[in-house]
Structure 1
Amino acid sequence: MNLIRLVLTFVVALLFVLLTMPQVIPFLHKLKFGQIEREEGLASHKAKQGTPTMGGLVFIIAAIVAVYLCNIEFLKNPYINLLVFALAGFGFIGFVDDYLIVVQKSNKGLRPLHKYLLQSVFAIGFYMLAARTIPEFSHQITIPFTQLNVDLGWLYPVLVYFMFTAESNAVNLSDGLDGLATGLVMIAIVPYIIFALILKNWAIVIFCAAMIGALAGFMHFNYNPAKIFMGDCGSLALGGVLAALSILTKQELLLILIGLVPLCETLSVIIQVISFKTRGKRVFKMAPIHHHFEMCGWSETKVVLVFWLVEALAAIASVLIGVM
């Protein structure tokens, strides 16, 4: 029965996106909710100006509908409700950001301070809800390659905060090429399915199936040439989900490896900014690093496929480490 539910949840999420998106894309076109490309961006990306954005809203709804529709008993499941809280909460932040961008016709959106404040609210809210609703919730983390568990005490909520803010922004930075972030997160979710199976937590497995189904449907419209972009609505939500999955499967430190490509994207921006401000020189031709490879002559499709491969290798490594 569990396997049937798993497949059904995946299929419902997949079909929801595949059937809904053809109506959503022209609707967004009509509202003129289109992508605003940066003035300093690559010339090859100028053609993407006006492509509908905020598509992440569709796969967010699809995943939530599939989980609850196919698994009514999960309405009161704390794991599912926490994952939905992270997905919808960080999706809401991105939605506000996207809305401001398309209405103001600029690529500024939410001010960084306001965005971080909202991210902080949902990160802290997640921690408080988890502490209240999950009986076995603890401040312990497992050190990879060892059997050592360390109780972080008051530092644990600080770790949770940084996991949510860092990962949501990292996935957001990765969403710069057609299909890139969508594929990266689909791959990154797979290790959590394995970790959840080891824990015998069927609720998390079901949620992961819904997410992969929804993202697989979205990929049909998001792969090069993209007919729609996920926007911050989608990328912030996906980053929030990865952080939540790491916390609920007690693989907090492995998020660094599981989210390797988004981490590298973030580090490339940090390195670029620090280098330019301190030395007046750029380390990369353009940051985030996926644009650097484009400027080196790689096609957009090649960059995406290579980054997916790196992410897949990181996911395999994380599973091997996690089960040791």
Structure 2
Amino acid sequence: MTVVAALLSWFLMGLFIHYSKRFGWGQRVRVDGPQTHLVKDGTPTAGGVAFVLALLLVFVVVLASGGISGAILGREIMIVLAMLGMGIIGGIDDFLKIRSRKFGGKSELLAREKFPLQLLVALLFAGFAAPLASHELLPGFMHIGGYPIFDMLWIAFVMVGSVNAFNFTDGLDGLLAGVGMIVLLPLVAVSPVAALMVAVLLGFLWFNAHPARVFMGDMGSHAIGAVAAGAYALYSDVWLLPIAAIIPVVAVLSVVIQVASVKLRNKRVFKMSPIQHHFELSGWPETHVTLRFWVITGMATALTWWLMGGRP
């Protein structure tokens, strides 16, 4: 079914691009960013809607056909629901950006609006996931009535952090799609949803490769972050996710460092954050940044696979 998912994603993405151009669903490019990005102004955005839809459709078919073992069915449904919940939050952001470009008005969800929604979805997921996690994060620590409270809180923290870290990794043609696929590779054999996400990202990457014909948008980045956090928590070791996802971790840290430095010292540490734009402004071609970040992610994920003992 992964081949079907990839082809369906590719097909839906083509339709999405066609209608996006027809209705003017383009993205506004930041004028203070790399000047090479100005030619991308008006490129269709929110492509994540198409590949998330493709994943959901194939998942429902697999579910209806009994293609998912009962032993993992509950885990897979939880990951899909977390993906959907986070994806909707990102989708609201995408909708506001598109509407703002055409009609003006509010252009995005503010952090104080987005974060509580993310935390709610993360806590709901973690509440059910903590007792089912592959193993306890800190055995015997902070239990109430036998329930692992610490595990729940930490999984929720990782879920929110993952969603935002993957979101900050977006911004270059093909970057996040490639990073997301590589990070999920160690889990494709045990988590059907992780395998389907890798497949639909392949369909998306066909159109998102440089020069991109469509951008992912927040719905897509939020969905990838949720699947990564959910799959690592339930099938592997959530402590390993920051290793495999080293690029998203560095991306979000670069934003935190930049904001803190500007507020405290009135000076920038990076030419622009997230860090991928710093390298662009330092003279690296966009394709070089993307490919080198893929390579780093590949090495980090290989290390993660080794730490797993060659299996999830």
Residues 1:91 and 2:87 aligned together = yes
Query: How far off is 1:260 after superposition?
Result: 0.5
Do residues 224 (structure 1) and 215 (structure 2) align? no
Residue 19 (structure 1) aligns with: 11
Contact 2:135 2:237 in 1 (8 A): no
The 2-side partners of 1:310 and 1:261 are apart by 8
Secondary structure of 1:228's match? coil
Structure 2 match to 1:111: 110
1:231-262 alpha-carbon deviations (Å, 9 max, x no partner): 00100111111110111114111111011000
Gap runs ≥5 in structure 1: 1-8, 143-148, 197-203
2:228 and 2:249 map into 1 onto residues whose CA distance is 13
Whole-Å Cα distance in 2 between the matches of residues 24 and 275 of structure 1? 40
Asked if 1:37 corresponds to 2:37, the answer is no
**5 Å matches for 1:42-53?**
42-53=34-45
Letter of the structure 2 residue corresponding to residue 79 of structure 1:
R
Structure 1: how far apart are the matches of 2:230 and 2:193?
A: 12
Q: What is the percentage of aligned positions where both structures have the same residue?
A: 36
Q: Which residue of 2 aligns with 1:127?
A: 126
Q: 1:184 aligns with which of 168, 173, 179?
A: 179
Q: Structure 1 residues 138, 297: closer, same or farther in 2, change over 3 A? A: closer
One-letter code of the match for 2:136? Q
Contact 1:83 / 1:245 at 8 angstroms: preserved in 2?
yes
Counterpart residue number, 2:166: 171
Q: Could you tell me whether the CA contact under 8 Å between 2:27 and 2:45 is conserved in 1?
A: yes
- 2:20: which partner in 1? 28
TM, length-normalised to structure 2: 0.90
Among residues 155, 158, 166, which one is paired with 1:160 in the alignment?
A: 155
Corresponding residue SS for 2:278: helix
Measure the CA separation in 2 of the matches of 1:232 and 1:280.
29
Q: Distance in 2 between matches of 1:255 and 1:22?
A: 32
Output the amino acid matched with 2:242. Answer: I
Q: Partners of 2:133 and 2:299 in 1: how far apart?
A: 30
Deviation at 1:18, TM superposition (A): 1.7
In 2: Cα distance, 1:75 partner to 1:313 partner: 31
Paired residues, what number?
298
Is residue 12–residue 54 contact of structure 2 (8 Å, CA) maintained in 1? no
What is the distance in 1 between the residues matched to 2:194 and 2:271? 36
- Per-residue CA deviation, residues 72-105 of structure 1 (Å, 9 max, x unaligned), is 2249721221111121111101110110111122
Contact 1:139 1:156 in 2 (8 A): no
* Aligned partner letter, 1:116: F
Match of 2:146 in 1: none
Contact 1:75/1:81 (8 A) holds in 2: no
1:130 maps to amino acid: A
Report the Cα distance in structure 1 between the residues aligned to 2:116 and 2:216, rounded to whole angstroms: 22
Please report the RMSD computed on the Cα atoms of aligned residues, expressed in angstroms: 2.0
Q: How does 1:1-324 map to 2 (within 5 A)?
A: 9-71=1-63, 72-73=65-66, 74=68, 77-105=73-101, 108-130=107-129, 136-137=132-133, 140-141=136-137, 149=139, 151-153=141-143, 154-193=149-188, 196=190, 204=191, 206-323=192-309
Q: Distance in 2 between matches of 1:239 and 1:281?
A: 31
Residue aligned with 2:26, SS: coil
Q: TM-score, normalised by structure 1?
A: 0.86
* 1:270, distance to aligned residue in structure 2 (A): 1.1
Instruction: Please state how far the C-alpha of 1:15 moved relative to its aligned partner.
Output: 0.8
Runs of 4+ with >6 A deviation? none
Unaligned runs of 5+ in 2: 144-148
Residues 129, 152 of structure 2: 8 Å contact kept: no
Distance 2:267 2:292 in 1: 27
Q: Secondary structure at the match of 1:140?
A: coil
In 2, distance between residues paired with 1:271 and 1:291? Answer: 14
3-state SS in 2 of match to 1:98: helix
Question: Structure 2 CA distance, aligned partners of 1:130 and 1:312?
Answer: 28
In the TM superposition, residue 49 of structure 1 has moved relative to its aligned partner by 1.0
